[in-house]
């Protein structure tokens, strides 16, 4: 494997495994048709090669499901061939190194982010730019897109600033896009009691909710 490959920095599942594409709650009836690609299987690599060629021709009009499939095929072909350049050569003249790098990185995004892509809360063109940054910046940029309905142009600019070395939180704050805004619906009786208790204790309602969420997170387990 050469240094050209992204190395799946955030993805925990094996390359090509249809974790999101195979989930009926996310993909509906198409989940049953989700292809599992295996970079170590020559026949599966041929399937990935064909999928990449088709994806390259239809990428501008593809659905979220098809995009995730094309991204999986791209990552599989790159890993199976050992580098972006070898994979591009195998796929043919319509598939460039940049194309494969872009979509293999989308496939390598964390599961939590890919779920929102499948739900169409993050469009494929924005997902490309999330994949340009690393670590927690990927999550924070994804949450900012969901919370603030950022345009693809804004996402591209934010990703570029982060890649230039600016801290993700500072960049998002400059764009007035720090994530953390969520409309919460509570049963009327619970909301009434919450308001009364907050007033009695002279506490901010948001702070109480944040504290409750923190306590809930502490009792859970990491995904």
Please tell me whether residues 14 and 75 are part of one structural domain: yes
Q: Is 40 a member of any domain?
A: yes
Q: Is the pLDDT of residue 204 over 70?
A: yes
**DSSP letter string, 91-139:** H-TTS-HHHHHHHHHHHTS-HHHHHHHHTTSS-HHHHHHHTTS-THHHH
Worst-scoring range by mean pLDDT, 4-8, 31-35, 111-115, 146-150? 4-8
Please tell me whether residues 13 and 94 are part of one structural domain: yes
Please tell me whether residues 66 and 117 are part of one structural domain: yes
Please tell me whether residues 61 and 169 are part of one structural domain: no
Q: Is 118 a member of any domain?
A: yes
Instruction: Give residue 63's pLDDT.
Output: 84
Largest CA distance in the chain: 69
Please tell me whether residues 140 and 65 are part of one structural domain: no
Instruction: Give residue 6's pLDDT.
Output: 45
Residue with tokens 């109480």: 208
The C-alpha R_g of the chain, in whole angstroms, comes to 20
Number of domains making up the chain: 3
Please tell me whether residues 109 and 1 are part of one structural domain: yes
Instruction: Give residue 17's pLDDT.
Output: 78
Please tell me whether residues 83 and 113 are part of one structural domain: yes
Please tell me whether residues 59 and 155 are part of one structural domain: no
Please tell me whether residues 61 and 27 are part of one structural domain: yes
CA angle 141, 145, 146 (to 5 degrees): 120
What digits encode the pLDDT tens for the residues 75-120? 999 999 999 999 999 999 889 999 999 999 889 899 899 989 888 8
Q: What average pLDDT does the segment 63-79 reach? A: 91
Q: Is 173 a member of any domain?
A: yes
Q: Is the pLDDT of residue 3 over 60?
A: no
Q: Is 196 a member of any domain?
A: yes
Q: Is 127 a member of any domain?
A: no
Please tell me whether residues 108 and 178 are part of one structural domain: no
Please tell me whether residues 72 and 166 are part of one structural domain: no
User: 175 φ, ψ to 5°?
Assistant: -90, 5
What digits encode the pLDDT tens for the residues 109-162? 998 999 898 888 998 889 999 999 999 999 999 999 999 999 999 999 999 999
Please tell me whether residues 50 and 10 are part of one structural domain: yes
Which whole-number Å values give the CA distances from 196 to 41, 54, 182, 200, 204, in the listed order? 62, 59, 22, 6, 11
Kindly report the pTM of this predicted structure.
0.77
Instruction: Give residue 24's pLDDT.
Output: 80
Query: What's the chain's length in residues?
Result: 223
Q: Is 166 a member of any domain?
A: yes
Give the domain extent around 209.
188-219
């Amino acid at each position: 494997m050469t240094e050209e490959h992204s190395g799946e920095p955030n993805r925990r599942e094996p390359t090509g495994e249809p974790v999101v594409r195979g989930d009926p709650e996310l993909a509906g009836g198409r989940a049953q048709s989700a292809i599992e690609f295996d970079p170590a299987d020559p026949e599966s690599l041929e399937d990935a090669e064909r999928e990449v060629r088709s994806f390259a021709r239809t990428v501008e009009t593809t659905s979220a499901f098809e995009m995730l499939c094309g991204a999986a095929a791209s990552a599989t072909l790159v890993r199976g061939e050992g580098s972006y350049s070898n994979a591009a050569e195998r796929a043919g003249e319509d598939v460039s190194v940049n194309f494969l790098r872009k979509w293999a990185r989308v496939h390598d995004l964390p599961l939590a982010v890919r779920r929102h892509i499948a739900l169409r809360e993050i469009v494929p063109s924005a997902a490309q730019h999330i994949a340009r940054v690393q670590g927690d910046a990927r999550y924070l940029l994804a949450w900012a897109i969901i919370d603030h309905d950022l345009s693809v142009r804004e996402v591209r600019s934010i990703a570029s600033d982060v890649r230039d070395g600016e801290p993700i939180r500072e960049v998002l704050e400059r764009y007035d896009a720090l994530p953390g805004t969520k409309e919460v619906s509570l049963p009327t009786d619970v909301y009434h009691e919450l308001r009364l208790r907050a007033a009695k204790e002279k506490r901010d309602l948001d702070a109480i909710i944040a504290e409750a969420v923190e306590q809930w997170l502490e009792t859970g387990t990491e995904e």
